[in-house]
Amino acid sequence: MNPSGTYRLQKLRQTTIGNSPVSPPQRRPDLNQRASTEPGATHTASVDAVIQSVLAIQPNAVIVIRSTVPVGFTENAKTRWGTNQLVFCPEFLREGQALHDTLNPSRIVVGERSERAQILAGLLLEGARSQEVPVLFTNAREAESIKLFANAYLAMRVAYFNELDSFAETHGLNTRQIVEGVCADPRIGVHYSNPSFGYGGYCLPKDTQQLQAQFDGIPQHLISAIVRSNVARQHFIAERIMQRDPRRVGIFRLIHKQGSGNFRTSSIQGVTMHLQDRGVEILVYEPNLNAAEFLHFRVEHDLDTFKRCRDVILANRITDVLNDVVHKVYT
């Protein structure tokens, strides 16, 4: 960090309740408390635990929350912990591209309008390759909403093109041709247009469900439809596989997208559960797993053995290692 960055970091540390222009926390409708009791709401106990630990060591430290939290969490936490030292600053990092996106941010959002917010934004800009990055200073609840609605929109894009693919496959149409024609419209664009088994991973499933929970009492259909569409897509994939009347299905990779080592809440797991419910024998091939089983499914570590003993191989993305058994692959 250069000398000016060191100065700004020191200023950020010194910006406490007493000398900060930030007003004390005020009582507002507790969206976070209400949402935490709703199905699908995000659990924030780990964030609270970190806040508690930091305040015990250095109560004047400015705590920057980058985790996705329910709308209202930051203000609620200020009141609960009796501190004004919390700033919400969401991150917008793609899985498998975190370093690239940190160095090349699409925007910087700070959920506060204050001197320390400007210092924080300056530190983040300093780590970027370009200084021409849009910077938005908002209120805390607006910043929390930006993160949730951004991820809900991305999930909607995934769900939209997955339903397009379900329609095309059912009617024997060429999905790629349709997608290319639709995305040629510059208002739509080509991003997030590759059909899959559904969205998964760390962010989109929990964030869409969190947003759905916080719409409690507010008329809406779209957010709930995104969540339902993802479940319906997995059921559709399972039914298409069952039309091949398989006895043994191989799951080639559990990761939810290429370039990621994460398979938490990957959509292929939902498809696998549907197949198991239909009495299909499941075998998993996942190089990132050392265990003999995953969710009670047997794991085969030898790729050749895996390919040889399956009737159908389910792969979210086709790769060259499956070229010799492409006739078995559903993707």
CA-based angle 39:87:9, to the nearest 5?
A: 145
Rg (Cα) of the chain, in Å, rounded? 23
CA-wise closest residue to 114 among 9, 16, 20, 4 = 20
Q: Which helix (H) or strand (E) holds 36?
A: none
Q: Name the active-site residue from 89, 183, 203, 309.
A: 203
For residue 33, the tally of other CB atoms under 10 A from its CB is 13
Annotated active-site residue 203? The verdict is yes
Beta bridge partners of 284: 251, 299
CA-wise closest residue to 28 among 124, 139, 127 = 139
CB 89 within 8 A of CB 111: yes
The torsion angle over the Cα atoms of residues 286, 314, 312 and 162, rounded to 10 degrees, is 180
- Positive or negative, the Cα torsion across 77, 140, 134, 11? negative
CB 250 within 8 A of CB 306: yes
- Please tell me the distance from the alpha carbon of residue 141 to that of residue 90, in angstroms, as a whole number: 11
In terms of C-beta density within 10 A (0-12 exposed, 13-18 middle, 19 or more buried), how is residue 269 classed? buried
CB 51 within 8 A of CB 63: yes
**b/e 227-261 (16+ beta carbons within 10 angstroms → b):** bebbebbbebbbeebbeeebeebbbbbbbbbeebe
The set of catalytic residues is 203
